[in-house]
Structure 1
Amino acid sequence: MKRDLQTPTGDEPPTATLAPRAELDFYDRALAELSAALTALEAWNLMMAAPQPLMRLAFRIRDAISSRFGVRRIGGFSGRRRETVAEGERLDFFLVERAAPDLLVLTERDRHLDVMTTISTAGRWIAITSSVVTHNRFGRVYMLPVGPAHRIIVRRMLRRLRRRLAG
């Protein structure tokens, strides 16, 4: 939907990235207007409440392949609801680096790549921004299928969130 990706009038949701955009190996930002304003944590809870079956399969495949290269298994998303979250805690496999009502900065880092995903809100607008810096060949190869899949998955999650809130 073209409407999912438009720029809001006024202030955009805040964001953070691992590095300036020109230094990233992957960057994606998806933006959607919702029917109601949410905090970043409320959005996380709603999006993760019922992980998509294909996501579970994708994480199983990811773990099976990546673990052979010394990458920690992450298992995917639990669907567990959180009422609060603080810096230094974990949301599933992500480390929470920043937690504010309008911004969650989540990271996962290993020897192959660093990932940062932000969920940010401004009024009824939500943005999910992901940035990746790869450290070696495995990290670059890993991102070949993950990058395009990530874009599809995030946009589907935002469409599902919009439908859920529209009731």
Structure 2
Amino acid sequence: MAEIAVPAASRLHARLPGAHFHDCYRMALPDGRPVLALFLDAVARTPPWVNRLMALRNAVVAPLGLKNLGGLNNVDPAKPVDAYRPGDRVGIFTLLHVSDDEVVLGDADRHLDVQVSLCRLDDGLAVSTVVHVHRLLGHLYMLPVAPLHRRIVPAVMRRMG
């Protein structure tokens, strides 16, 4: 796994201008399944420490009026991959775009907008995140989240396949 620039082939590349935070990790493609299937497989096996961090996040932000996102692994294991449509909740995210080669998930709240892309490349899979913050609250929120995010994404990616 290596950190790379957000690929031009990703829909998130156009969201880079003005982003407060962005990152992208590339890994060998585990297999030829649609990328949504890879994502669902990975989040279903989210490391327990990630779920504990999400529970802590939800408890800390509740008094601030921010959304309780639940857990990263809050997906229906019985729902077939091809039944997902834009607008569906997938764990902590809403599905914004789905094709065999790219999935874009996101969440928006009054403090920030985050989008995550899983994009099939010729030489692997790129998982990109782009965050646009709103207000001081978004900047304060990202202070602890950004370094944790850089640990969480690779840990979840290692669960793919």
Identify whether the pair has TM-score above 0.5, normalized to the shorter chain: yes
Gaps of 5+ in 1: none
The 2-side partners of 1:50 and 1:37 are apart by 19
Tell me which moved more, 20-29 or 75-84.
75-84
2:157 alignment partner in structure 1: 158
1:144 lines up with 2:139 in the alignment:
no
CA contact (8 A) 1:13 1:102 kept: no
Per the TM alignment, residue 159 of structure 1 is displaced from its structure 2 partner at its CA by 2.5
Matched residue, 2:131: 132
SS of match in other structure, 1:133: strand
Contact 1:121 1:127 (C-alpha < 8 Å) held by counterparts? yes
- Tell me the alpha carbon deviations over residues 73-125 of structure 1, each in whole angstroms, 9 at most, x when there is no partner: 01112143342211122212311111111111111001100000111223561
1:80 has 2:79 as partner: no
My pick for the range that moved more, 133-142 or 38-47, is 38-47
Q: Quote the residue 1:89 is aligned against.
A: 88
Kindly report the root-mean-square deviation, in angstroms, between the aligned alpha carbons of the 2 structures.
2.1
Structure 2 CA distance for partners of 1:39 and 1:124, relative to 1, 3 Å = farther
One-letter identity of the residue aligned with 1:33? A
Change (3 A) 1:79 1:50: farther
The number of aligned residues is: 155
In 1, the alpha carbon distance for the partners of 2:30 and 2:104 equals 23
Which contiguous aligned blocks of 4+ residues in structure 1 show a shift greater than 6 angstroms?
Answer: none
C-alpha distance in 2, partners of 1:6/1:13? 15
* Most deviating of 145-154 and 13-22: 13-22
Structure-1 separation of matches of 2:110 and 2:13: 15
Distance 1:48 1:80 in 2: 11
Residues of 2 paired with 1:116 and 1:100: CA distance? 16
Structure 2: stretches of 5+ with no match in the other structure:
none
Name 1:55's counterpart in structure 2: 50
Q: Which range is displaced more, 145-154 or 14-23?
A: 14-23
Query: % of aligned pairs identical?
Result: 26
What is the DSSP-based 3-state SS (H/G/I as helix, E as strand, rest coil) of the residue aligned with 2:146? Answer: helix
Equivalent-residue separation in structure 2 for 1:27 and 1:57 (angstroms): 24
- What does residue 99 of structure 1 align with? 98
- 1:5 matched to 2:2? The reply is yes
